[in-house]
Chain A
Amino acid sequence: MLKHRLIAVIIVRDGQVIQSEKFKHTNVIHYDAFHAVEAFNSWSVDEIVLLNVSKSHSSQNEFLEIVKHVSKTCFVPLTAGGYVDSVAYGSSLIFSGADKLVINTLWQSDIETAHELSKKFGKQCIVASIDVKMNNQNLKEVHVNRGSVNIGQNAAQWAEFCEKNGAGEIFFNNIDHDGNRKGYDLETISKISKKVKIPLIAFGGVFSWKHMLEGLNAGADAVAAANIFHYKEMATKQAKRYLLKHNIKIRN
């Protein structure tokens, strides 16, 4: 039987692992992403997502080096993204050792390139990252470009659009929940999961293992977290123990 996945997200800014809160970067957790990946790999997390959130586009090459370095000892699937703006750069990430690509802004700015990457590496290789944020009319709308540009779209419909255009998986975050310790945006997770047929990863806001259970019950196929895993020893093992105890099928 297929298991749910527990995913560790590593947020990288200028080569350092940082903590994110509502997409603001509060503090440095590790000075070197390599050690974070090594720890998660040995704690038997099911997948690792590496996100480049640096302020500048010129961070592309440095990030490529990080992917190259960490993939040497990463024996679980490694997903990488941030500034994937061309087929050439997406391909470089793959050939540097990433198994899947995270694509966010491209779905809005250059759908052709997103398409092409999906055709080149297969849908299963393309993860559509979708970030929502509440606007001043209390509507949750999709934001791109590291949360800075509101494109006025509803998350479930946007997820369906990405699915139609070559995404094989959805990675969902709510910026208002990000690093905010109140759990996932369950309402939107439930809406997306009813709209698309591809797997859905929930991210943003986990402060207890119970939040993960809630995410899975709301319809997510996989649950992801960042900050919490860095601050607890053997955190991914604890999370799995909790989920197993609550009858969630997850790899031991």
Chain B
Amino acid sequence: MGIIGIVNYGCGNIQSVINAIEFLGYEFRIIENEEQLFSCQKVILPGVGSFDYAIDALHSKGLFAALQEWSKVQSNQLLGICLGMQILCSGSDESLENKKGLSLVNAQVLSLSKKVQDDEKIPHMGWNEIMLSDNKVFSKECGKHDYYFIHSYAVFVNNEKHSLAKTVYGDVLFSSMITNGENVYGAQFHPEKSHDNGLNLLKDFIVNA
């Protein structure tokens, strides 16, 4: 299984992810630079906060280019969570300076408030369902449960084959899980805060990816 890397680039609370990995009984290593990144084959990219702040933080630690390089190695497996999933995409409505994302998945991050009806609340906060497509990493069982979401921007893929799971909020259908079809995955919800089912989903990534 190896050691699970958890990227710490100063974007919110990584403690919850650490707690979950410890609870599942796996070893982890905090990644704060390129060298540490290349010492792990399975890496979780968490993130809470704003898109621009996250992109700048990755650049300043030299992790932006490093993540792009590291991901080219097929045996390396990446899971982005929440904002960590959004920065896998090409760009975001949230960016005030039109910053580029990691562009590991061909998708855009759009503002939910522009998409939903006026009476729907923003952020999309709480437990919601996912419609999971057949895949080799996350079991069918994962698709039968609710997960904890908290976000104001959502991911829309340019090619449906990159959408791993869909979720409905109001009358908007967005991608709640994405993949590059090979070794990069993302979850919009927080598996580390989604009770037993979230822990099982993390375990699927660790064991099967």
Which residues on A are within 8 Å of B, measured CB to CB?
1-5, 41, 44, 46, 71-77, 94-99, 120-125, 168-169, 197-199, 221-222, 251-252
Minimum CB–CB distance from A170 to chain B (whole Å) comes to 11
Judging by beta carbons under 8 Å apart, are A4 and B152 in contact? Answer: no
CA distance A198 to B20 in the complex (A): 29
A252 and B129 alpha carbons, distance in the complex (Å): 11
B196:A94 contact, CB within 8 angstroms:
no
Q: Please name all residues of chain A whose beta carbon is closer than 8 Å to the beta carbon of B150 when the two chains form the complex.
A: 77, 124
Q: Are B127 and A94 in contact (CB under 8 A)?
A: no
CB contact list, B1-49 vs A, under 8 A:
12-13, 15-16, 19-20, 22-23, 48-49
Give the interface centre of A41, A120, A199 by most chain B CB atoms within 10 Å: A199
A168–B123 CB distance below 8 A = yes
B161 within 8 A of A: no
| A-contacting residues, B119-153, CB 8 Å | 121-129, 146, 148-152
Task: Say yes or no: A97-B126 contact (C-beta < 8 A), given A44-B195, A121-B12, A125-B48.
Answer: no
Partner of A199, one of B126, B193, B194: B126
A169 and B15: CB pair below 8 A?
A: no
Q: Cβ of B196: which chain A residues have Cβ within 8 Å of it?
A: 75
Indicate if the CB atoms of B193 and A251 lie closer than 8 Å: no
Tell me how far the C-beta of B52 lies from the nearest C-beta in chain A, rounded to whole angstroms: 12
Q: How far is the CB of B56 from chain A (nearest CB, A)?
A: 14
Q: In the complex, what residues of A have CB within 8 A of residue B57's CB?
A: none
Asked if residues A76 and B148 are in contact (CB atoms below 8 Å), the reply is yes
Interface string of B166-209 (1 = CB under 8 A from A): 00110000000000000000000010111110110000000000
Instruction: Indicate whether A121 sits within 8 Å of B48 (C-beta atoms), given known contacts A1-B168, A71-B19, A75-B195.
Output: yes
Closest CB-CB distance, A37 to chain B, in whole Å? 12
Whether B19 contacts A46 by the Cβ 8 Å rule is no
What are 20 A-B contacts with C-beta separation under 8 Å?
A: A1-B168, A2-B126, A2-B169, A3-B127, A72-B19, A75-B19, A75-B192, A75-B196, A76-B193, A77-B150, A94-B13, A121-B12, A122-B50, A123-B123, A125-B48, A168-B123, A169-B125, A197-B122, A221-B121, A222-B126
